[in-house]
Amino acid sequence: MASQSPPEAAPPASAGLESMEGLVLDTIISKAGARPAAALACASTRFRAAVADESLWRRFCAEDLGLDAPVDPDGQQLPSFQVAYKVWLESFGMYPLPLVKRVKEFWSSMKIWLSENFPDAAKTLCKGVTEAQLKSAEDDLGFKLPMPTKLLYRFCNAQLPFSENHEVNKRIATHGIIGGYAFYDHWVNVHLSPLEQIVEETTEFYREFPDVFSGRKLIIVATSWFNPKTFLLNCSNGELYVGTNNLPLGEMLPCVPKALIKLTDNDLPQDGLLLWLEEHLRRLQNGMIKTRMLMKSRYISLYPEAPPSCTSAVTNGVKVRGSAVFVPEHPGDPQRSCMYTYSIRLSVPEACMLGGVYYSSCQLNSRHWTIRSRDRVVSDVRGEGVIGQYPVLSPGQDEFVYESCTPLAKGPGSVEGSFSFVPGKLSRPEGKPFEVMVAPFPLEVPEYIF
C-alpha cells in the first residue's frame, strides 16, 4: 500500500496579507492599530515598507495620543510621527493610551487657557516628574498613588511650592490655578500642590493627627496660601475631599460625584482629582468662572459669572448680578450648618431712567435681603449701604463689586432682595428714591466643590 504524503503546512497568516493589493493592505494595517503594525514590520520587507508610511503614523499619533506634530513629551521636534509614537510609547507605555491622551489634552488645554487669560499663573506650572520620582514618593508615603493622579504629575508637577521666602510667597499667593474668593478678612486661593509638597505636607499631616487619619491613605493635593483650605485624595478609592473647619477631627466633604469615580476601568480609569480638574477647566473655558482683580493682584474668582448659578436683573437701568460659593472651611455660626459667600455686582450699562427721565448717575442708599432655606424665610435683613459704602453708579463705569457672607441651615436655599437708590447723589438727590431688584440666586452645596 502506497504511503500517503504528509499534508502541506498551512501558509502563515502574513502570507495571505502579502498577496493583498496595496490599498487593501494599508486599510488593514490602519485598522489594526499601531502596535500590530509595528509587529508586522518585522515580518517582511513589503510589510516594513507599508508600515513606514508617514501618513499612517500621523493618524496613529492623532488617534492614540492627540498629537498633531511629531514631538516628544517635552515638546521637542522629532524626525517623524513614527519616531514620535515610539518615543511616547517608551515614556507612557505602562499606562492605558486613552488615559494618556486624556490627561495630555487636559494639561494642554489648561496651559492654553492660563497663557491667554492668566499668564502669571501659567508661569507657576512645573515640568512633569519621572516614573522614578513617582516611585520614590510612593515609597515615602507607604502606598500607591491612583493611576490617573500619577499621569497628571507625569505631564505637569502642578505649581511652584511655597517656600521659606515670604516675599516670593506673597508674589504667587493669588496665582493658584484652582482660585478662590475673598470676603471681609477671609481670603482663600487654592494652589495645586507639587509632588514634593504632597509628600512633605501629607507626612506632617499624619504626624500631627495620627489617630484620626491612620491607615486611610490620604494625600494633600491642594492647599490655600491665605486662610487654610485643604483638599485630600483618598488613594484607596480615588475619592477627593475638602476639609471642613473640623478637619483635625476627621470631618471632610466629597468634592466630586462618587458615581463618576472608576479606578478599576482597565482602559480609562478616572479618579476624583482628574475629574475635579477637568470640571474646573470646563468652567474656565465656558466663562462660568473668570479672573478678577484682588487689590493689585489678579486671581481666579470662584464666584459664578453665568446662569443658572449667577442671576441678573435690571431695574430702571440699574443692573444687579448675584452669585454665591459654598465655603466648607469657614467656622461660621455653630447653630448653622453651612457658610456661603456671595458676590454682588452693580452697574448702569446704558442709562439710569426713572419715569421717562434720564439721570447721569444714581447712588445706593440701603439694602434689603431675604434669605430662604427650603423655601422658608430664615432671615430678613435691612441696612444702610453695603459693607460700609454707598456706591455712585454712572453709565459706562466698571461694575461695583462687593462680597459678603451668610450662614444657612442644611438644604438648598436662596438669597433675593433689593437696593434703594436715589437719582443723582444722596447729598443732592435729583428725584425720588427707587427700588432695584436682586433676582434670587441659589445657596446650595454643589456636586463639585472647589
What is the structure's pLDDT at 162? 80
What is the average per-residue pLDDT within 150-166?
92
Which residue is associated with the grid cell 466630586? 256
Confidence of residue 138 (pLDDT cuts 50, 70, 90): very high
What is the structure's pLDDT at 38? 63
Q: Which three cell numbers stand for residue 146?
A: 491612583
Per DSSP, 249 falls in state G
Burial of 77 (0-12, 13-18, 19+ CB in 10 A): exposed
Burial of 426 (0-12, 13-18, 19+ CB in 10 A): middle
Q: Which residue has the higher pLDDT, 46 or 264?
A: 264
Residue 446 CB neighbour total at 10 angstroms: 12
Q: Which three cell numbers stand for residue 54?
A: 508617514
What is the average per-residue pLDDT within 152-175?
90
- Interhelix angle 147-155/97-117, rounded to 10 degrees, is 50
Confidence of residue 284 (pLDDT cuts 50, 70, 90): very high
Q: What is the pLDDT of residues 336-350, one digit of tens each?
A: 679 999 999 999 999
Q: What is the mean pLDDT of the chain?
A: 90
Q: What is the pLDDT of residues 302-311, one digit of tens each?
A: 999 999 999 9
Q: What is the pLDDT of residues 3-23, one digit of tens each?
A: 555 555 544 544 554 554 555
Nearest to 97 by CA among 29, 32, 34: 34
Q: What length does the chain have?
A: 450
Nearest to 191 by CA among 148, 230, 145, 218: 230
Confidence of residue 198 (pLDDT cuts 50, 70, 90): very high
What is the structure's pLDDT at 267? 77
Give yes or no for residue 47 having a pLDDT over 70. Answer: no
What is the structure's pLDDT at 8? 53
Q: What is the pLDDT of residues 77-127, one digit of tens each?
A: 999 999 999 999 999 999 999 999 999 999 999 999 999 999 999 999 999
What is the C-alpha to C-alpha distance for residues 102 and 122, in angstroms, rounded to an integer? 20
Nearest to 425 by CA among 385, 392, 450: 392
What is the average per-residue pLDDT within 31-44?
65
What is the structure's pLDDT at 174? 95
What is the C-alpha to C-alpha distance for residues 370 and 408, in angstroms, rounded to an integer? 12
CB under 8 A, 24+ apart: contacts of 380-386: 386/344, 386/419
Give yes or no for residue 251 having a pLDDT over 80. Answer: yes
Burial of 255 (0-12, 13-18, 19+ CB in 10 A): buried
Give yes or no for residue 206 having a pLDDT over 50. Answer: yes
What is the C-alpha to C-alpha distance for residues 297 and 242, in angstroms, rounded to an integer? 26
